[in-house]
Amino acid sequence: MGTDSRTRIWWALAGLVVCIYALVPVLWIVSLSFKTTDTITDGSFVPRSWTLDNYAQIFSLDLFTSALVNSIGIAIISTVLAVVIGTMAAYAIARLSFPGKKTLVGVSLLIAMFPQISLVSPLFDISRAVGLFDTWPGLILPYITFALPLAIYTLSAFFREIPWELEKAAKMDGATPLQAFREVIVPLAAPGVFTTAILVFIFCWNDFLFAISLTSTSASQTAPVAIANFTGASQFAEPTGSIAAAAVLLTIPIIIFVLLFQRRIVAGLTSGAVKG
Amino acid sequence: MTVQSRATAAERQQPSQGPTKAQRSDGKRDERRLGIMLAAPAAIIIVLVTAYPIGYAVWLSLQRYDLRFPAEQSFAGLANYGAVLSSSYWWQAFGVTMLITVVSVAIEFVLGLALALAMHRTLVARGLIRTVILIPYGIVTVVAAFSWQFAWTPGTGYLAALLPQGTAPLTDFGASLAIIIGAEVWKTTPFMALLLLAGLALVPEDMLKAAAMDGAGPWQRLTQIILPMMKPAILVALLFRTLDAFRVFDNIYILTNGANGTGSVSMLGYNNLFKAFNLGIGSAISVLIFISVAIIALIFIRLFGASAPGSENTGKR
């Protein structure tokens, strides 16, 4: 293994390139968020003078704080509902035979590939007619729908790995199918459910098209839309610093998820799409 | 799909378990009822939020319906489609969307494959690399788009600083498209790489060793063994990413807002709805985008034999 150390150096270099690739755009926005107003247009990658003013500024804006609350609330509620509904459906698809199963699988696949813009105009009209326009449920409903295929595929992939003999044993001990589901399968499936929840949360957190189309005020506008609409704290200030600071705040939950649950996210992403 | 084949296997086993005919059909009926109960919420919400609106969109697309003059709504037949398909805006947007889709998916595939091969083989910092590449995947597209926008803004950006004085890439059609494609590639290459990595794990190591023994070089092993063995994974990854790239919206909205003819079909549909307030035309564009996506999916499935995950014919693995 004499050439081993040389190959290790090559791999380390390749790894470094990958890290630079992934991190530079993120570090750049972090850098911008700490720049002072007079150095923000200096084009330097590292701030020449540091400040927290940009962060103080966005939190003084009702527009942003309410958008952050909307983003968090809508993403969490959508995630919980999508995962609960998706778990039920994925269990039924993976384990039970019932009429309409093939249709459900086919249709949810269709939605996974569906162009969201095609739903925007009818949903805009319908949600205004039924009073859901610019409300939390008006965004939560489409989020659940578009998260369901992801949830169903990821979960049914995880459900395949579960030792089903345990369910059979529970049934032999007199448990009903529902009890077997609740008492045996749910605890075993919890890691898969958790992984799915992360993926669904990232999806909801990320959405821009529905949020910008189906909201209009701070009642339900989410943070990505608020950032896109930033015009600066005063009419003379360029909003660059505020946008950068808000962007960093939106990235923090993603970084936390990635650092803590890297393995799960990779497993979830690949199991749903490839093992199928 | 394995879910399906497992389920049918379970069905096949069942008769041997049921002791009597009556009990068996009772259990079957219970199972059907439970299945329907569990699947019903998903089915209902899918019908309410997609199936019904799609039907409604088709109906809207046949109407003359301008939100500024709601009283003048009337049946227009295919006039909206005629208006869209004879408009240079649609074909400009369609061309831009196709260009972005084809170029970015092609680059992503090459980069993603290289990244997947590197991750498959690497001895150093495997966990670290898998962690950092999830950042582009997870980051909010709008955030990443702003990062690129500021980077290319003259004066502000570190990338614009590398360009000759006086160039503003985001005001130029070609440069804007290149930046949009770059932003798409940056964000989605990791996803492509992870899908390909999962496919790569299915290539038997022995076969590669045997081929190397027989004198096949790295390039031959890649094109003769690895890629053919990975074909199902490659097709699924390409199909997913192509359909995803075709609906490009966020990056364009932030980077150029469609200036200088850089708008995609999704931007066109959005602008028709929220700037021109024309629900009829907007819906016709929506339906046309839907049809385009369906055609792309059909091409992948029919021509290349991509087996969509979840469909019946994917059991061969």
Q: B156–A274: do the CB atoms touch at under 8 Å?
A: no
Question: Quick one: tokens of B64?
Answer: 């003359």
Q: A63-75 pLDDT, tens per residue?
A: 899 999 999 999 9
Max mean pLDDT among A45-49, A60-64, B110-114 falls in B110-114
Q: Which of A118, A128, A203, A256 to mutate to test the interface with B (most CBs of B within 10 A)?
A: A118
Q: A121–B269: do the CB atoms touch at under 8 Å?
A: yes
Predicted ipTM of the assembly: 0.90
pLDDT at B167: 81
For residue B199, which residues of chain A lie inside 8 Å, CB to CB?
A: 274
Q: A220-235 pLDDT, tens per residue?
A: 999 999 999 887 555 5
- CB-based contact (8 Å) between B297 and chain A? yes
Half-sphere exposure of A31 (CA within 13 A, CB side): 22
Q: Yes or no: say if A154 and A271 are a contact pair by the CB < 8 Å rule.
A: yes
As a whole number of angstroms, the distance between CA B264 and CA B44 comes to 32
Query: Which of A22, A148, A177 is nearest residue B136 as measured by Cβ atoms?
Result: A22
Q: A192-223 pLDDT, tens per residue?
A: 899 899 999 999 999 999 999 999 998 999 99
Q: Which one has a higher pLDDT value, B11 or A130?
A: A130
| Stretch 149-208 of chain B: residues touching chain A, C-beta under 8 Å | 150-151, 155-158, 160-161, 186, 190-191, 194-195, 197-199
pLDDT at B22: 57
Nearest 10 degrees: Cα torsion B182, B187, B188, B194: 130
For residue A150, which residues of chain B lie inside 8 Å, CB to CB?
A: none
Nearest 10 degrees: Cα torsion B259, B262, B265, B267: -30
| Stretch 256-295 of chain B: residues touching chain A, C-beta under 8 Å | 265-266, 269-270, 273-274, 279, 282-283, 285-287, 289-290, 293
Q: Span B37-44, mean pLDDT?
A: 93
- CB-based contact (8 Å) between B46 and chain A? yes
Q: A44-59 pLDDT, tens per residue?
A: 899 988 999 999 988 9
Q: A119–B57: do the CB atoms touch at under 8 Å?
A: yes
For residue A274, which residues of chain B lie inside 8 Å, CB to CB?
A: 195, 198-199, 233, 236-237, 309
* Closest approach of A270 to chain B, Cα-based (Å): 6
Question: Quick one: tokens of B134?
Answer: 């999830």
As a whole number of angstroms, the distance between CA B2 and CA A269 comes to 17
Q: B134–A265: do the CB atoms touch at under 8 Å?
A: yes
Expressed in angstroms, the distance from the first to the final Cα of chain B is 9
The average confidence (pLDDT) of chain A is 87
Is the pLDDT at A274 greater than 70? The verdict is: no
pLDDT band at residue A162 using 50, 70 and 90 as cut-offs: confident
pLDDT at B5: 42
Task: Find the helix or strand (DSSP H, E) in which B63 lies.
Answer: strand B63-64
pLDDT at A174: 87
pLDDT band at residue A84 using 50, 70 and 90 as cut-offs: very high
Q: B266-301 pLDDT, tens per residue?
A: 999 999 888 888 889 999 999 999 999 989 988 888
CB pairs under 8 A between A and B: 345
Task: Find the helix or strand (DSSP H, E) in which B74 lies.
Answer: strand B74-75
pLDDT band at residue A154 using 50, 70 and 90 as cut-offs: confident
* Closest approach of A13 to chain B, Cα-based (Å): 10
- The total number of residues shown for chain A amounts to 276
Q: A15–B128: do the CB atoms touch at under 8 Å?
A: yes
Q: A101-153 pLDDT, tens per residue?
A: 888 888 888 888 788 888 888 899 899 999 999 999 999 999 999 999 889 98
Is the pLDDT at B16 greater than 80? The verdict is: no
- CB-based contact (8 Å) between A60 and chain B? no
Q: Yes or no: say if A154 and A196 are a contact pair by the CB < 8 Å rule.
A: yes
Query: Which of B135, B158, B199 is nearest residue A22 as measured by Cβ atoms?
Result: B135
* Closest approach of A145 to chain B, Cα-based (Å): 6
Helix axes B21-46, A62-95, angle to 10 degrees: 160
Is the pLDDT at B3 greater than 70? The verdict is: no
Q: Which residue of A has its CA nearest to B275?
A: A213
Q: Yes or no: say if B232 and B273 are a contact pair by the CB < 8 Å rule.
A: no
Query: In sequence order, what DSSP letters do the residues of A107-144 get, joined into one string?
Result: HHHHHHT--THHHHHHHHHHHHHTT-TTSHHHHHHHHH
Q: A251–B31: do the CB atoms touch at under 8 Å?
A: no
pLDDT at B14: 43
pTM of the model as a whole: 0.87
pLDDT band at residue B2 using 50, 70 and 90 as cut-offs: very low
pLDDT band at residue A185 using 50, 70 and 90 as cut-offs: confident
